[in-house]
Chains A and B, each alone.
Chain A
């Protein structure tokens, strides 16, 4: 018995040491008791490892009534600008490559933490696909309930080593810039990413039913729930024709309009989507576009954003179902500059 206990203790020493290290470094502020590492270093080096961990654990520690939920495209909305415009505190609840079903899960998760007031969900047709599916929120929720799962977790370990290294070297360890030129990455997104998103499509009946339940709940509980259809550059929008998904896009808009909640569309031909300068890559708008969108959405004064309703959708349907070519987009949107020659191919 004695030998067993001695060996047991020796065997557990590394685990106890690891637990202490995680408690002190706490890369995702799960325990939120130690602040040995600065917030900025954690943001730069841990967030990239697991964005969901980063935001959800913070939300669990200090729940906010006002949320922005979505993927990396939604994360590009300037949260400081929104706080300034509204005079309220907003929190990001975003995750890399977050799926629509996960965005809904996040809504329910946040709703458990406190009574919500304003929730803005970033969405795009690319997320509205039966095959765009993952189930990571359940995992994060499990970890919130079980500290040991956080301590013995690969993301925690990786983020911990990153923040320690970044603190010692005084340099960010994580580099989110793609290892290729902007043009090459642009083409990569237009070809490979578009194929990943659009080559296999099915209307997401289950997820749409969950969206309806969420909207009804928000209405019944006086939560201001708004969907923002985040913009893609027109070159990426044009890929819908290549994958014969224009009618599905219209169906998506119809479904969104039928939710009977505020839906603001930026993903059509407009001043933002026509100009490459407004984008980091074909699907991620830059800072200036983010500020513009934030100003419009949170002041309610739309110049580019279109409030989705049946008339608007009908208008889009008439144009998009009419086998129009991408260059006819300009005629549809009206008032925007003509498409560049390169886009008319």
Chain B
């Protein structure tokens, strides 16, 4: 069930109303049933897989808590391996098989392994990581093992964040299922506003830009120069609006019922370095990798060489987490390389800054850093979005083809022929992007919705109407999947 579908438009109010009508002791059951219905709207039988991993981790965590000595560690490893095994079979087995076959063919060893026809369970990577964080936290003694199976299952399956996060830590979410949530007008309306804003980003910006991006990235050899640059820049905006839009709806939906989920995005394209970008982009995942991969590897409390290696490993795994393809691995590794290079070149860059005295105009300096970061992020997005390494290579090598003619409007317009997006749709997308950018700029100083609260009623209601009407009348009519659902 998609957040932007008619089914969810019915599902959400029904579940929310029932939630507030039911006594507190039954609410967990309602949410669990609702989460099962939500998940089963995709591929019903896959819920069995989810319950297998839930069962394993539930038992393992209790065992870890009750046991002392090396058995605890064995239980932890058993739990991690079994949870990851499910992820491996469904997500990575074909990737490794394909590469094994290719390698075999290269060395003329003709023992090909059959590629399985498997559909990836939706949101598998997300709830796998959420389960892992629970078991690890119990092992570390920072979280008590949950004895109530239903509540634990709900922690993994809570429908607003089940399929694409935010990836919650048990310390933040589990206790909330025990707290009685009363109907709070302010909280409910704030949640609804956040959901509306998420839908605006998804349906007006992301889905419209997707038309152009998909056409160019699915047929890259049909294009060169400006369309490739435009599609890449648009993809940067598309994926941000798509994923942060999803997160806003998820956080908003949970907030309506009284749950507080963690912030997942903080204006990532205002980042002034790649490291800063990762403090603002998909925060629940980047902190997960920091806590459970980067720091256990030694983090930055090791030799510089080892530190940079830790960064590269963490980012490459993060790439692989996104998708079983070399394009994702390279995307992740590129971010690792950018941060490594940034660390290595810090001293020379400081000298250049001092020599050029750019620090004297801080705003300009910040803008230059922001622009540079955006360009690097876009460059990496090419690998993330391209359907293959060959496509990514073509796109990168043809980004500036015909550069000398970029001033020729006729030439530029010819390059955009057949791109599939109607001019009026492009205008809507650009207008929506501008609104979103303004929102992000204003939100940086003070939360927009809080600021709006101080305005007269007619101003607020007019804005709500405009937002709702824009979503209803100007959104793309096709119900498109959220990009991160595939992970």
CB contacts under 8 Å to A, within B429-487, are: 461, 464-465, 468, 472-474, 476-479
Shortest beta-carbon distance, B189 to chain A, in Å? 7
A135–B420 alpha-carbon span in the complex (Å): 7
- Assess whether A16 is interfacial by the CB under 8 Å rule: no
User: What sequence of 0s and 1s flags, for each residue 7-24 of chain A, a beta carbon within 8 Å of any chain B beta carbon?
Assistant: 000010011000000000
Tell me if A149 and B477 are in contact (CB < 8 A). Answer: yes
Tell me if A133 and B215 are in contact (CB < 8 A). Answer: yes
The 8 Å CB contact of B473, one of A130, A132, A138, A157, is A157
Tell me if B417 and A202 are in contact (CB < 8 A). Answer: no
Show the binding face of B for A, using Cβ within 8 Å: 6, 9, 20, 183, 185, 188-189, 211, 215, 219, 222, 414, 417-418, 420, 422, 461, 464-465, 468, 472-474, 476-479
- Assess whether A3 is interfacial by the CB under 8 Å rule: yes
The 8 Å CB contact of A4, one of B189, B461, B472, is B189
- Assess whether A134 is interfacial by the CB under 8 Å rule: yes
For residue A149, which residues in chain B have a CB less than 8 angstroms away from its CB? Answer: 477
- Assess whether A142 is interfacial by the CB under 8 Å rule: yes
At the interface, is chain B mostly helix, strand, loop or mixed?
helix
Tell me if A139 and B477 are in contact (CB < 8 A). Answer: yes
Tell me if A11 and B464 are in contact (CB < 8 A). Answer: yes
Interchain residue pairs with CB less than 8 A apart (26): A1-B183, A1-B185, A3-B185, A4-B183, A4-B188, A11-B461, A11-B464, A15-B468, A130-B222, A130-B418, A131-B417, A131-B418, A133-B215, A133-B418, A133-B420, A134-B422, A135-B211, A135-B420, A139-B476, A146-B6, A149-B477, A153-B477, A154-B473, A154-B474, A196-B417, A200-B418
For residue B468, which residues in chain A have a CB less than 8 angstroms away from its CB? Answer: 15
Tell me if A143 and B477 are in contact (CB < 8 A). Answer: yes
- Assess whether A199 is interfacial by the CB under 8 Å rule: yes
A11–B189 alpha-carbon span in the complex (Å): 12
Shortest beta-carbon distance, B468 to chain A, in Å? 8
**Chain A residue, CB-CB nearest to B421:** A134
The 8 Å CB contact of A142, one of B422, B465, B479, is B479
Shortest beta-carbon distance, A238 to chain B, in Å? 21
For residue B465, which residues in chain A have a CB less than 8 angstroms away from its CB? Answer: 11, 14
Tell me if A131 and B183 are in contact (CB < 8 A). Answer: no
* Known pairs A196-B417, A200-B414, A200-B417; A153 contacts B478 (CB<8 A): no
- Assess whether A74 is interfacial by the CB under 8 Å rule: no
For residue B477, which residues in chain A have a CB less than 8 angstroms away from its CB? Answer: 139, 142-143, 149, 153
Tell me if A199 and B211 are in contact (CB < 8 A). Answer: no
The 8 Å CB contact of A138, one of B9, B414, B478, is B478
**In the complex, which of the residues B9, B476, B477, B479 has the most CB atoms of chain A within 10 Å of its own CB atom?**
B477
A15–B422 alpha-carbon span in the complex (Å): 28
CB contacts under 8 Å to B, within A146-168, are: 146, 148-149, 152-154, 157
For residue A14, which residues in chain B have a CB less than 8 angstroms away from its CB? Answer: 465
**Chain A residue, CB-CB nearest to B211:** A135
Tell me if A139 and B6 are in contact (CB < 8 A). Answer: no
CB contacts under 8 Å to B, within A89-145, are: 129-135, 138-139, 142-143
A142–B207 alpha-carbon span in the complex (Å): 15
Tell me if B6 and A148 are in contact (CB < 8 A). Answer: yes
A138–B188 alpha-carbon span in the complex (Å): 35
**Chain B residue, CB-CB nearest to A138:** B478
Shortest beta-carbon distance, B187 to chain A, in Å? 11
For residue B474, which residues in chain A have a CB less than 8 angstroms away from its CB? Answer: 154
Shortest beta-carbon distance, A197 to chain B, in Å? 9
A236–B300 alpha-carbon span in the complex (Å): 69
A131–B55 alpha-carbon span in the complex (Å): 52
For residue A138, which residues in chain B have a CB less than 8 angstroms away from its CB? Answer: 478
* Known pairs A131-B222, A154-B474; A199 contacts B414 (CB<8 A): yes
A143–B475 alpha-carbon span in the complex (Å): 13
For residue A146, which residues in chain B have a CB less than 8 angstroms away from its CB? Answer: 6
Tell me if A4 and B478 are in contact (CB < 8 A). Answer: no
CB contacts under 8 Å to B, within A40-79, are: none
A225–B472 alpha-carbon span in the complex (Å): 39
A273–B423 alpha-carbon span in the complex (Å): 32
Shortest beta-carbon distance, A208 to chain B, in Å? 15
